[in-house]
Amino acid sequence: MLELAHERALADREMGIQNGRLSAALGNMSQALCMFDHAGRLIVANNRLSEMLALDHGDVAAGSTIEEILAHAALPQNDVESLSLGLRELVAVGQPGGCSVHLRDDRTLAVSYVPIKGDGWLLTLEDISERRLAEAKISHMAHHDALTGLPNRLLFHERLREAVARSLRGETSALLCLDLDGFKAVNDTHGHPVGDALLQEVSHRLKQQVRAIDTVARLGGDEFAIVQSGLDQPQDATVLANRLIEVLSEPYELEGQQVVVGTSVGIALVPRDGRDPDQLLKNADTALYAVKAAGRGSYRFFEQGMDATMQARRTLEIDLRKAIIEKQFEVYYQPLMNIKAGIVIGFEALLRWNHPQRGLVPPGDFIPLAEETGLIIPIGRWVLNQACKDASTWPGRIGVAVNVSPIQLGSPTLVEDVSAALQSSGLASDRLEIEITETVMLDDTEGTLIILHKLRDLGLSISMDDFGTGYSSLNSLRRFPFSKVKIDRSFIEGLGTGQECNAIVTAVTDLCETLGMITLAEGVETEEQLRQLQIGVCVEAQGYLFSKARPAADIAALCLLLSQPSGTVAAH
C-alpha cells in the first residue's frame, strides 16, 4: 500500500509538473488558443483569447460554444458576424484551414482551424496587424519612389499595361513622358537638398493637374511620366501637356531661394503608337528627345520618322563614346589677328572629329549631342590639355583661346581642369583665353559669376563669344568684366553694305573701349569688311580672309605666312 501511495504521489507530482508546463506554454503564446470537443464545447483556452476579443474572464467558461464566447466579445456587431461566418465555414469544411478577418479597429486576425480526429478541434487566432502593416509598407516601398511618394517605374509599367488592356476594349489613353529643363543647374548651384525639394514640389504640382483615374510616376532623376486614361480625343493630351508646361515653369520658392525650371513633353497614344508598354515608353521618349532637340519647353506627339532619327542619334552617341576611347579627336587652330599692327596674337582652338567611316564630322553635328549626354566634359578636358600643350610650343607670346560650353561651366571640376592643363603643359596662364557664349550668363548668373571669377584668378583672360545673339548682352557686360568681346559674324558680314551693321559694330566697339574691353570681329571674309573695321576702334579679327582653321602641324608655317605684308593667307 505504501508503494502504491508513493507511485500515485509521484504520478500526481509529474502531472502537476506537466500541467504547469502546459499552463506556462499556453499563457505565453502570442496566439489565442482554444480547444473544443466533438460537440463544439470549450475544453480549454488561454488568457490571450480574452485579451484579443476583449472578453471578461468569466466569459470563457468550459462547456461554452464559440458562438456563446463571441456573443460576449466587446467588438462591433459587424466584427462578431465576420468572425462567426469565417469560423462556421472552416468547421463546415472539416479540414485544416484558415482565414483572415479585418476588424473595424484596423486589426487583422489570422484564424487557424485544425480538426482533432474523433475528439473535437483546435482553434488559434493571431493578431497579424503589424505584420500586415510591415508587408504593406514593403510593398509600397517596392512600388513607389522614396523621395516623392509617386509610383515608380515598376508600378507605372503595370498601370501602362492595364491601359493597353483597356485599349483592346476601345479605350484610348495617352502616355506623356517629361523631364525638367535646367534641373542639373539647380543641383549644381543650390545643392542636392534644394534639388530634392524641387522634385517634391514638381510631384505635387503634377498630381494637382491630373484626375484620379490617371497615373503620375517618377521614373528616375528628373524624369516623370503620366498615363492619361479615357481620352475622348487626342487633343485632350495636348491640353494636359500645355497645362503641365505652364504650371511647372512657374517659379518655386525653396528654402528661401527662388528656382525656375521648364519642362518638355513627349506623347505617345495608346493603342495608336503601340500595344507594348516598353515600346510605348520608347516612342514617348523619342518624341521627348525631338522636343529637346528643337529647343525644349514644348511638346510633341510621336511620329514614325522620329524612330529613324533616334536610331541615328544612338549610333552617333556610341561612335562618340568610342571616339573618346580611341582618341579620334584633333584640335585645329584659326588665327586671331591684331588688325592694327597686322600680327598674329593667338589662335582659337577648334575641335575636329576624324571618324573612321564618315571622315571629318562637323562640330555642329556632334557638339550638341556631346553636351546633352555630358560627354562634353571629358572631351572639353582633353581639348584644354591638348590646346595648352600645343600652345606651349608656339613662338613668343602667342596665346590660345578655348571654348567652354555651358555644360562645362556647370562642372564642379572645371577650375581644377584648367589649372591642371596649365600646370602639365607649362603654358603661362596669361597666354590662355577662355571663351564663353553669352547664353551661359542667362542660365545661372550667380553660379556662373563665381566660376568665372575663379578662372580669372588663375591669371587667364575670359572673352564673350558670339556677342549680340543673346538677350542680355549689355547686362552681361555689366555683371562681369570680360577681357574681350567677340562680335558675332552676323553683324560683320553686313559691313559696308548698309548703315545698320556699321552702326551696330561701331556702337559695340566704342562701348567696349569705354569699358576697357578689347573687341574682336568674327567671320571676316572680305577686304572691305577688314577696311571698315580698321576705320573704327576694333582691335582684333578672325575669319577666312586670314585663314581657315589648320591642324597644329601647320601653325609654324602659318605664322610665317601671316607675317607677310598682306597679312592674309586666304589664297593658300
Note the pLDDT tens digit of each residue in 323-348. 999 999 999 999 999 999 889 999 99
Strand partners for 99: 111
Q: What share of the chain is helix, strand, coil (3-state, %, to 5)?
A: 50, 20, 30
Contact assessment for residue 198 and residue 252, using Cβ atoms and an 8 Å cutoff: yes
Q: What pLDDT sits at residue 518?
A: 93
Nearest-angstrom CA–CA distance, 301 and 290: 9
**What mean pLDDT value characterizes the chain?**
86
Confidence (pLDDT) at 69: 84
* Strand runs labelled E in 182-255: 215-220, 223-228, 252-254
The cell numbers describing 55, all together, are 472578453
153-185 per-position pLDDT tens digit: 999 999 999 999 999 888 999 999 999 988 887
In this structure, are residues 335 and 547 in contact, taking their beta carbons and an 8 Å threshold?
yes
What was the pLDDT predicted at 347?
97
The segments of the chain whose pLDDT lies below 70 read: 1-28, 441-445, 469-473, 564-572
State phi, psi for 520 to the nearest 5 degrees.
-125, 130
**pLDDT given for residue 7 in this prediction:** 61
**Cβ-contact 319, 373 below 8 angstroms:** no
Helices 376-391/414-425 angle, 10° precision: 30
What gap in Å lies between CA 237 and CA 235, rounded to an integer? Answer: 5
The pLDDT of residue 4: 61
Contact 174, 268 (CB under 8 A): yes
Strand, helix or coil at 119?
coil
The rounded Cα 386 to chain-centroid distance in angstroms is: 32
Q: Distance between CA 350 and CA 345 in Å, rounded?
A: 16
pLDDT of residue 28: 56
pLDDT for 571: 38
Q: What is the pTM of this model?
A: 0.61
- Three-state DSSP state, 215: strand
pLDDT at 185: 79
Structure letter (DSSP) for residue 9:
H
In angstroms, rounded to a whole number, what is the distance separating the alpha carbons of residues 195 and 11?
76
CA distance 226 to 210: 9
